[in-house]
Structure 1
């Protein structure tokens, strides 16, 4: 199964109408026939005591993924907190270490799930009805590490190589 995402890329941001929730709603419906309601979301809802994702993910059939990042699967929901105490941004993990998302004031896109996005992540969740594992799935564990850790490992490997 190939995940359908091309039709979800390139939309202009409009909070509450065309945003990260809109993108994940369409993704889950188009790929898995899973309906996600269109929750009312006032501007800066996360700064007004609302935890839109935290209050709803479980009742919608999502469960926290408590495993090493190398075990994350395409179709997993990624929740992030950007300048917030609660998750206020969401994306969906895709094959090849990429993710689909629609960040504020940017167009919806697919990009690598690394660096800043990994650092902003507060949880990864899998829907009970999604069991997508690509054929011949492999993962490079280094891709899942924060940049500063990868740099330390690379530096240590270089020292070992130079010592030989």
Structure 2
């Protein structure tokens, strides 16, 4: 996308002001021309992620047509991450990334990208355990499951919602006592030294057949059963379903429309 030097300077100045956090904003089209609108970053980890303040976004949309989403990569190149590419597809808008320091700006647009099941990067709310389960059901079983807005560390909010327990019935799941391939297991995994009030991690039980229909990749060694899941700070993977995982299971859920 070609933009004026003035707009480029405004984007770079915003990245410099917010450094070392990620700056974010939008490019809009008004009656007077294109404008860059800086927005607040509501992410709980603003040095690593961004979440545009919905109030700032609403004000920008009231002023004009949103043409592009902009954010910075502090102390990194402006190369789009896997999460950036997935989010770009969801917004259906071009994205611009500015690397700061340096000020290089890279643009990219939706191309139909979808993250692979195996080896995907972790980004809570976008590429996380629920996203992995949703995509597994979509690609392996043709089931389209809804998404849920979820704040980071929602399971540490004692008076907050228990997202898996509150929503599994309305999503088409019911509880069973023993797992079979394609069931979703919901575990409670606290961070060391922190409270965890609700089951907070979902995995797909693969049984003794770890192969994925939609992706051909080497199968892990060892004997099953296996699970497919995505843990924070790690790439999505298949692993042996061992005692440490089984001991944390709170729900064994089967979807009414899944046929192994």
TM superposition shift of 1:37: 1.4
TM superposition shift of 1:95: 3.0
TM superposition shift of 1:9: 0.8
Q: Which has the higher strand share?
A: 2
TM superposition shift of 1:85: 2.5
- Which residue number corresponds to residue 246 of structure 2? 118
Pick from 180, 197, 202: which aligns with 1:85?
A: 197
Aligned partners of 2:185 and 2:203 also within 8 Å: yes
5 Å-filtered alignment, 1:69-148, equals: 69=178, 72-83=179-190, 84-96=196-208, 97-132=225-260
- Which residue number corresponds to residue 58 of structure 1? 169
Q: What is the SS of the residue equivalent to 2:124?
A: coil
Q: Which has the higher contact order (CA 8 A, sep 6+)?
A: 1
Pick from 138, 142, 146: which aligns with 1:29?
A: 138
Distance 1:116 1:95 in 2: 16
- Where in structure 2 are there 5+ consecutive unaligned residues? 1-115, 191-195, 209-224
Structure number with bigger Rg: 2
TM superposition shift of 1:87: 1.1
Normalised by the length of structure 1, the TM-score is 0.71
Q: What is the SS of the residue equivalent to 2:143?
A: coil
How many equivalent pairs are there?
A: 122
Aligned partners of 2:174 and 2:253 also within 8 Å: yes
- Where in structure 1 are there 5+ consecutive unaligned residues? 1-6, 133-164
Distance 2:236 2:226 in 1: 13
